Structure 1
Amino acid sequence: MRTRRRFLQTCIALSGASLAGCSEDDESTTPTSTTTTAVSTTASTPETDTATPEPSESTATDEPTETTEPTETESIDPETLKETGRAFVNQLAAGEYAAIMDDYAFSEQFAAQVDAEQLESIWTTQTASLGQFVELAGAEYSRSDGYHVTVVLARFTGGRQAVRLVFDDTATIVGLFFPASGGSYSPPEYVNQSAFEEVDRTIAATETCSLPAKLTLPTGEESIPGVVLVHGSGPNDMDETLGPNKPFKDLAWGLASRGVAVLRYDKRTHACDVDRAALTLDEKVTDDALTALGVLREHPRIDPSRTVVVGHSIGAMTAPRIADRDGSVAGAVMLAGNARPLLDVIPEQQEYLFRLDGELSDEEATQLQAVEQTVERIRSLDISEDEIRFGLGGRPFWRTVQEYDQVATAKELDVPLAIFQGERDYQVTVENGYNQWQQALGDRENVTFRSYADLNHLFMPGEGQPSPAEYFQPNNVSRAVVEDVASWVRRVTGEDNQ
């Protein structure tokens, strides 16, 4: 019997495009991507493109959709997996979506979140501009972060589309990605590429791994303010790539076009070979952001006292902690930061996805109950050391997330804060984010609040009922958001008064 399922990209894990910005890997995405369109249950499944889920925390996307790390490799035949991939894509091209859901072995989390209708929506959206399907142009097999990855290339009359299938050691599908084809990203019209240059930097993350980074520097010789961008959930790349979209690249180029330097970097879970089940919140997010602030301040044109942290999704949730531990930032910008605990938000995200078709079936209700039971297990830390839940992390992550109170931490800060929210965001909603922040900090003169009626979790415009599918339609961060962030940074760093 086939169960009803819903697609969720960093969604259940909050994205990156999940709190992930829904990242392909909601951190849950490891070869996560960031150039990829992911049909994955967290933004943390192996990915190799330069673009994410999470997530989202995407591509970015994510951690594997399974609840445990892959076991030691059993006897897996690469040729068999390539043949499975070819058959899978042929069925996609033939429109056999229901048969796909019946014919293949999917991980429990994946199967709970993807149904034939959603699969059809993602495939047709992804290939709408490519014309008629012609043939398969090849299949490749590789290993990535302990997983088996098959990439199948489909040729259409108007172009090509890669399909990446991620398998565990039992040949169960734990991730499905649609890497964006080259050239699908277009810089927003508000960017002036002659107004800045980009230089490579590295961020020391562990004793054996450094994170690739870019400093986007406005042209000129004068002293300027600078910001560090902090990703949502999922193993995101420095652009926080999700499908064809690169929100952090939009922000970096847009802010630099307006006189603000920007440092962005690949997330540790994207760039490094790490045990994701063992990482704490600080090891995933805070520590590397603090190191990045130090690297930013090393540049001779950056005034160390005029630096700001800009966080998105889980990065926004963690921004008060980053500001508190750093002790020197001039302010913090929180883009779609949840005020309520993650474990309160996750079941609401899942229920929203289940109800996209206007109803909650008996099977979906049962699946939702299972999510709530898992949440209660996490609250009591009744999970094993190597057990990754919701694609975000294991016991150390969930323990440290529960120990951290972002609202209480923000209340203790004396630096200016900016809290921005898209009103079409179904992951971090006005109700579970923006309104709660206003209740907690609305009486502070140094806290700026701004909401945007037509923007989603990626701060990109859209219409109608929000869903994960729109994250994979080419778009850019709203000009209004870029201009508001730039003007706020210049104001709190004193540039507008100089």
Structure 2
Amino acid sequence: MKNTLLWILVALMYPTISYAQEITGTWHGKLNAGRQQLEIIFHFGKTDDGKNSCKMDIPEQGARNIPVNLSQLTKSSVSLEIPAINLAYSATLENDTLKGTFKQNGMTLPLNLTSGEAKKANRPQEPKEPFDYKTEEVTFTNAADNATLAGTLTYPTEYTEGKQVPVVLMVTGSGAQNRNEELFEHKPFLVIADYLAKQGIASLRYDDRGVGKSTGNPSACTSADFANDAKAGLAWLRSSKKFGKVGILGHSEGGMIAFMIGADKEADFIVSMAGSAIKGDTLIAEQQNAILRINGMPANRTVEQVREEIAAKPKNAWLDYFLNYDPTTAIAKITIPVMAINGSHDMQVLPTSNLTVIKGLLKSKNEKNFFKEYPELNHLFQHCKLNNALDYYKIEETCSPEVLSDIANWINSL
């Protein structure tokens, strides 16, 4: 559920071919791809066994450490490629600049690189240590699936032992993500945890299976498997006996998982941030049409086309489950308090279809339910214009202050 503008890569692993290396370290430059200005970063280095290697980053597309084939690397020139996506780059070193050409799928563009680290993205909301609250490294186990999840338990400011404060378990969106839900150099869950701590609310955020310090094999997992991980986290929080109400806060797929868990009555409350409420194949068709529309192209993708294209690709357990899963069955069973929110410029979980369904199914279930569509916010709840709703990296804001305030106020009102 994290489609962005035109993707020029996929994270495929390929062996590296090594040559005598003279160009070393990090090199970066801007690729002018029409309305997109993409920063391309190459890291030249050595593998553990001393062979030359190269990896590529494209921060605007959330891509990091993508292995690259080196076909030539000399004192003054480099040639590399990623065959699976027909991407190639070659350059010659001239006066401390790698002057070269980027090619992909018949497109040829100039790309010049300079040595050194690229400018770090500005993220003004990201909290910096030392914090004025306590954090603790913890683990909990989903024994049935042999997965141990590692995370950060954040206590509220001025927390004292035995104080019955509310706590939320944070569940990330789709794809392998760390406990901060780090993407496009934003750390939404870190920002949310910091804000909640200052408002008297504890939180537990954790690395997904196979990410960071968490164990377990995510390769054949579905949303239902990840829901079981979250259930284990909720059980651990309850067993700690340190908190009062135990809730779940999920973003995107995490919001859908929150609905699954709410149906099973294993949480005291739910915060769904852009959680999906329609069948997966329909959601993907909507995403694609939304992206086509803001790029001035005909928005005529159908569910049938989506299913045909996915059927032609290698089997993927998560995707197969997601295509056929209809969240309405779970949502209709929920009676605990629910906060469900979306941004009006969300191009990945469109509020017109998803939030409308949630409201319809839950509006009369609990007097504490809260539904809101925030104007001019995107899928990450960043302020944006419609034409840059997918430019997550370029937007400095990580999460709208209004959203943060509403989440904290709603939880504290329960």
Question: What's the TM-score once normalised by structure 2's chain length?
Answer: 0.73
- CA distance in 2 between counterparts of 1:456 and 1:149 reads 37
Question: Is residue 81–residue 171 contact of structure 1 (8 Å, CA) maintained in 2?
Answer: no
Partner of 2:206: 265
What amino acid sits opposite 1:140 in the alignment?
A: G
Contact 2:255–2:275 (Cα < 8 Å) also in 1: yes
Q: Which amino acid aligns with 1:279?
A: C
Match of 1:423 among 344, 351, 364: 344
Task: Calculate the aligned-residue CA RMSD, in Å.
Answer: 4.1
State the distance in 2 between where 1:408 and 1:153 align. 40
State which of 172, 181, 186 in structure 1 corresponds to 2:84: 172
Map 1:108-119 to 2 at 5 A. Answer: 116-117=33-34
The answer to whether residue 291 in structure 2 is matched with residue 353 in structure 1 is yes
The 3-state SS of whatever aligns with 2:284 is helix
- Number of residue-to-residue matches in the alignment: 362
- Inter-partner Cα distance in structure 2 for 1:342 and 1:261: 32
Tell whether the 8 Å contact from 1:165 to 1:175 is kept in structure 2 after alignment: no
Could you tell me which residue of structure 1 aligns to residue 413 of structure 2?
A: 491
Give 1:406's aligned amino acid. P
Q: 2: distance between equivalents of 1:433 and 1:81?
A: 55
Asked if 1:281 corresponds to 2:223, the answer is yes
Displacement, 1:165? 3.4
Computing the radius of gyration from Cα coordinates, the structure with the larger value is 2
1:460 aligns with 2:397: no
Cα distance between partner residues in 1 of 2:293 and 2:408: 37
Q: In the alignment, what sits opposite 2:277?
A: 339
Measure how far apart 1:336 and its partner are: 0.6
| 1:419 positional shift | 0.8
**Equivalent in the alignment of 1:121:** 37
C-alpha contact 1:244 1:472 (8 A) present in aligned 2: no
Give the number of the structure whose residues are more often strand, by fraction.
2
Q: How far has the Cα of 1:446 moved from its partner? A: 3.9
Counterpart-to-counterpart distance in 2, 1:468 and 1:441: 29
- Answering whether residue 171 of structure 2 is matched by residue 230 of structure 1, we say yes
Separation in 2, partners of 1:451, 1:443: 18
Query: Residues 350 and 152 from structure 1, CA distance in 2 versus in 1: closer, same or farther, beyond 3 angstroms?
Result: closer
Secondary structure, aligned partner of 1:405: coil
Question: Which structure shows the bigger proportion of residues in helix conformation?
Answer: 1
The aligned amino acid for 1:122 is: L
How has the CA–CA distance of structure 1 residues 141 and 341 changed in structure 2, closer, same or farther, with 3 Å as cutoff? farther
Note the alpha carbon deviations across 1:117-169, whole angstroms, 9 max, x for none.
25x4233xx99xxxxxxxx8x613669xxxx9833699xxxxxxx97434599
Match of 2:44 among 133, 139, 143: 139
What's the CA shift for 1:374?
A: 4.4
Which of 318, 322, 329 matches 2:261? 322
TM (normalized to structure 1)? 0.62
Separation in 2 of the partners of 1:79 and 1:477? 43
Deviates more, 1:204-213 or 1:455-464: 204-213
Change (3 A) 1:171 1:407: same
Matched, 1:432 2:349: no
Shift, 1:486, TM fit: 1.3
Q: Is the 8 A contact 1:308 1:330 kept in 2?
A: yes
Deviation at 1:86, TM superposition (A): 9.6
Greater RCO between the two (CA within 8 Å, min separation 6)? 1
Query: Could you tell me how far 1:372 is from its partner in structure 2?
Result: 4.8
Structure 1 unaligned regions, length at least 5: 1-13, 23-37, 47-63, 65-69, 98-115, 128-135, 155-161, 389-393, 493-498
Aligned to 1:211, what secondary structure does the other structure show?
A: strand
| Residues 405 and 316 of structure 1, relative CA distance in 2, 3 Å threshold | same
Aligned to 1:58: none
Residue in 1 that maps onto 2:155: 217
For 1:348, give the aligned amino acid: E
Q: Secondary structure at the match of 1:460?
A: coil
- After TM superposition, the structure 1 = structure 2 runs for residues 371-450 of structure 1, keeping only pairs within 5 Å, are 372-376=304-308, 382=311, 387-388=314-315, 394=316, 396-401=317-322, 404-444=325-365, 445-450=367-372
In structure 1, what residue type is equivalent to 2:37? S
Partner of 1:202: 139
CA distance in 1, matches of 2:6, 2:24: 15
Secondary structure in structure 1 of the residue aligned to 2:406: helix
Larger CA deviation: 403-412 vs 423-432: 403-412
- Cα separation, 2, equivalents of 1:175 and 1:277: 26
Cα displacement string for residues 241-275 of structure 1 (whole angstroms, at most 9, x for unaligned residues): 12231111111111111000000011115346766
Give the 3 Å change call, closer, same or farther, for CA 211–277 of structure 1 in structure 2. Answer: closer
**Against the structure 1 CA distance between its residues 266 and 273, is the aligned structure 2 distance closer, same or farther, given a 3 Å change threshold?**
closer
The residue type equivalent to 1:280 in the other structure is T
Distance change >3 Å, CA 473–CA 184, structure 1 → 2: same
Q: Distance in 1 between matches of 2:168 and 2:385?
A: 31
Distance 1:141 1:292, change over 3 A: farther
Structure 1 equivalent of residue 54 of structure 2: 150
For the residue of structure 1 that corresponds to 2:191, the secondary structure is: helix
Listed one character per residue, the Cα deviations across residues 187-215 of structure 1 (whole Å, up to 9, x for unaligned) are: 368x9975421111123257665332000
Relative to structure 1, the CA distance from residue 140 to residue 282 in structure 2 (aligned partners, 3 Å threshold; closer, same or farther) is farther
